[in-house]
Amino acid sequence: MREVSGHEPHWKAALQRLDRLTPRESEVFSMMAEGLSNESMANRLHLTERTVRAHLSAIAEKLELHSRLSLCLASYVSRNTVANDNVCRCGRRAE
């Protein structure tokens, strides 16, 4: 696996570029963490697979990632980081 600086994976820097995504691209990016196929994402979002592919291409370009695996890893970490940020000290999710 390629690394940027030190021992960080190359996709980790992409997490600093999430603000480049549109709301729909953010939604598709978040679904990547679930390991959904393009067809499953399209069905859930009521889009065509072609539109999902277009969103994925735009996301990859904006985040400067070049593989679906890198997108999935970044999405998984991003999604779980946000989820952990919403947990209060008592262990319950913030409302």
* Mean pLDDT confidence for 10-20: 90
Query: Quick one: pLDDT band at residue 27, thresholds 50, 70, 90?
Result: very high
d(CA 71, CA 34): 12
Contact partners, residue 2, CB within 8 Å, separation at least 6:
9, 10
Where do runs of H (alpha helix) occur along 1-95? 23-32, 38-45, 49-63, 68-85
Compute and round to an integer the Cα radius of gyration of the chain: 14
> According to the model, what pLDDT value does residue 84 have?
55
pLDDT tens track for 31-90: 999 999 999 999 999 999 999 999 999 999 999 999 999 999 999 999 888 655 554 444
Note the pTM of the prediction, 2 decimals. 0.76
- HSE-CB at 91 with a 13 A cutoff on CA atoms is 0
Map out the domains of the chain with their CATH numbers.
12-85 (1.10.10.10)
